Amino acid sequence: MSKQTQIRLAGSGGQGMIMAGVILAEAAILDDKIAIQSQSYGPEARGGASKAEVIISSEEIDFPKVIEPDLVLSLTQEATEKYGGSVKAEGLLIIDEDIVLPEGFNQSRVIKVPILRTAKENVGRAIVANIVAVGFIAEFTQLVSRESVEKAVLGRVPKGTEPMNKKALSEGYALAQSVK
Amino acid sequence: MSKKNIKLMQGNEACVEAALMAGMKFFAGYPITPSTELAELSAEKLPRIGGKFIQMEDEIAGIAAAIGGSIAGLKSMTATSGPGFSLKQENIGYAAIAEIPLVIVNVMRGGPSTGLPTSPAQGDVMQAKWGTHGDHAIIALSPQSVMETFDITIKAFNLAEKYRTPVIVLTDEVVGHMREKIEIPEPGDIEIFDRKVPGPGEDYLPYRLEEGDIVPKMAPFGAGYRYHITGLFHDETGFPSNSTDNADIMLKRMISKIEDNREDIVMYDEFMMEDAEYAIISYGSTARTVRNAVKTLREQGMKVGLFRPITIWPSAEKEIKAVGRQVKKIIVAEMNMGQYVQEIERIVKSDAEVFHLGRANGEVLMPIEVVQKAKEVF
């Protein structure tokens, strides 16, 4: 079981957190690992707090849902309040820079990262924040290879947006290197 | 260039991929969460291979059109969830009595009625068997993973063709929506069964069973054979018959073609059952919860195993009976308030004590709950 990493990606509906989860899972599979991606469906799929989950493992995954995430990444205040506390005690909580950590949070490892600003200012489109987040997680955790992540991103994003998403991914990697 | 075709895919996507590989040429249905991807992908992919997709006005018309497609000679599928499955019941009975090959996918969600549209459940297990009125046999298969969804869908088409019967792929929201690794086999590596059709100019009776056949040969409607299809009991010509003798023969043949071929139809899986003193029986996505729990219980020294029916109907009667004789106690874990447990109790009788662990509030069973239940009753 310790060979598993459970990841929860949270944000508001439409921010592409499910896509981010799909890319991480796909990259893991390209690396010949085992991965499962799932999400919550429902009204939150349009606005509100939404989440995507990924489990990456070196062995078969029985139970397909995330129970206690090793890593939670959240892009909005609401999502942080809803899902931020689910990260396990020794786990890692990554939140966007403007988020105020809710009271009562005692996670020892919290990192504030300018994911939304990087997408907006360095890439020019807030919509690629999810890809910046993917780059950040991939570099920070080293769970998946850069080659596979790139392949997964380019295979999943809409045609014509490849250069922008590649740039977003690089920005995510750079961001992770700067806080490591 | 023998690179394996490995993909990350949802269970629902895998179902469509498999259906196409099995030879599906027609899909008719009405989209409903959590089965909508099946309609979407069929709509996208069927026209590219010369097939047809049609969205009907409701679920009833969806299955009716799929039956029509099959009668015309095309391998056909429809897909739905809870409320739509209820609406399809009448025509499932029609397909059963008229012996029409058909695959019906039910991605189970919380019920009754519109219930919990986006949440998983396994509450349609008994409905799959007895949802349509009257005596009949049915085949229902339940996958636990994306890969198994692919394999089972191929099998569902093959069984439908081989036994001229509706086959239900009874999956659930968890398996339908999760993305997981799948290795898509080469078309040449999978066994595909096509229905037997009469030769040209043959003296053909649509419901006459010929020597060496399991079911009567099926001519595509409109191919020049004199042909009648009805939901009434009918004789070999296909025209209605009120004869009680005929009804008796026909009904027995319709049931025995499935019941007598359990060896071919029944699939199951066992995990750590060799030396098990206790068993947990579970199917579909819930079996994964149980597998996880069995590992934990084994680490704690309890001799527990998992028996997983893949074919839900007809049930793995012989194998479940053997489990009952082997172990002292059985827990049946399922996402409902107690359905398949009744079938297990019927089969096991007094050989083992049977307990139930279930819930139908839209939440999956957690491994810890299975562990706790096992410690409580084993």
Q: Which residue has the higher pLDDT, B245 or A14?
A: B245
Domain check: are B149 and B173 in the same one? yes
Long-range Cβ contact pairs of B355-361 (< 8 A, separation 24 or more): B355/B329, B355/B330, B355/B331, B356/B331, B356/B332, B357/B331, B357/B332, B357/B333, B358/B332, B358/B333, B358/B334, B359/B335, B360/B110, B360/B121, B360/B123, B360/B335, B360/B336, B361/B110, B361/B116
User: Are B261 and B336 members of one domain?
Assistant: no
Domains of chain B: total: 2
- CA atoms in the 13 A half-sphere facing the CB of B327: 29
Report CA dihedral (A10, A14, A20, A21) to the nearest 10 degrees: 60
Cis amide prior to A114 (ω within 30 degrees): no
Shortest Cα distance from B18 to chain A (angstroms)?
Answer: 20
Give residues with Cβ within 8 angstroms of B79, minimum separation 6: B15, B27, B29, B35, B38, B39, B42, B104, B105, B106, B107
> Is residue B45 located within the same domain as residue B180?
yes
CB contact under 8 A, B178 and A42: no
pLDDT of amino acid B227 = 84
Burial class for B296, CB neighbours closer than 10 Å (0-12, 13-18, 19+): middle
Residues B209 and B358 in one domain: no
Closest residue, chain A, to B364 (C-alpha):
A65
Final residue of a domain: which of B249, B265, B281? B265
Are B273 and B261 part of one and the same domain?
Answer: no
Q: Is the dihedral of CA A21, A22, A26, A29 positive or negative?
A: positive
To the nearest whole Å, the CA of A158 is away from the closest chain B CA by 17
- Chain A interface, Cβ < 8 Å to B: 22, 25-26, 29, 34-42, 62-65, 67
pLDDT of A165 higher than 60: yes
B352 φ, ψ (degrees, to nearest 5):
-145, 155
Please tell me the distance from the alpha carbon of residue B241 to that of residue B236, in angstroms, as a whole number. Answer: 10
Give Cα B88 distance to the centre of its chain. 14
Mean pLDDT of A5-28: 95
- Domain with residue B16: its CATH number is 3.40.50.970
The verdict on a CB contact (< 8 Å) between B179 and A64 is: no
What is the predicted pLDDT for the residue at A41? 62
| Domains of chain A, start order | 4-112+137-161 (3.40.920.10)
- Where does chain B show beta strands of DSSP type E? 6-10, 24-29, 52-55, 75-80, 102-110, 116-120, 139-141, 166-172, 179-183, 268-271, 278-282, 304-309, 311-313, 329-334, 353-358
For residue A168, pLDDT over 90 is answered with yes
pLDDT bracket for residue A108 (50, 70, 90): confident
CATH of the domain at B299: 3.40.50.920
The pLDDT assigned to B98 comes to 98
Backbone angles phi, psi at B269, to 5 degrees: -140, 145
Residue A2 has pLDDT above 60, yes or no: no
Residues B199 and B73 in one domain: yes
B133 and B257 belong to one structural domain:
yes
Q: Which residues of B touch A64 (CB under 8 A)?
A: 174, 178, 180, 285, 288
Indicate if B56 and B171 belong to the same structural domain: yes
A chain contacts of residue B8, beta-carbon cutoff 8 Å: 22, 25-26, 29, 35, 37
Q: B131 and B170: one domain? A: yes
Residue numbers of the domain that contains B346: 269-377
pLDDT at B13: 98
Which residue in the set B8, B34, B118 is minimally distant from A29, CB to CB?
B8
In this structure, are B87 and B156 located in the same domain?
A: yes
The shortest CB-CB distance from A25 to any of B8, B292, B364 is to: B8
The residue ranges of chain B whose pLDDT is under 70 are 1-3
Confidence of residue A104 (pLDDT cuts 50, 70, 90): confident
Last residue of a domain, one of B215, B249, B265: B265
CA atoms in the 13 A half-sphere facing the CB of A11: 23
Percent of chain A with pLDDT over 70: 94
Diameter over CA atoms, chain B = 69
Over 80: is that where the pLDDT of A50 sits?
Answer: yes
Interface residue B179 vs chain A (CB under 8 A): yes
pLDDT of residue A1: 42
Percentage with pLDDT > 90 across chain A: 79
Chain A: closest CA distance from residue B49 (Å): 23
Q: Do A25 and B179 touch (CB under 8 A)?
A: yes
Q: Looking at the structure, do residues B293 and B328 belong to the same domain, yes or no? A: yes
Contact A88, A45 (CB under 8 A): no
ipTM of the modeled complex: 0.93
Between chains, do B291 and A62 touch, taking CB under 8 Å as contact?
yes
B139 close to A (CB below 8 A): no
Residue of chain A minimizing CA distance to B363: A65
Establish if B356 touches chain A: CB-CB under 8 angstroms.
Answer: no
| Residue B219 to chain A, least CA–CA distance (Å) | 44
Last residue of a domain, one of B265, B298, B319: B265
Is residue B258 located within the same domain as residue B301?
Answer: no
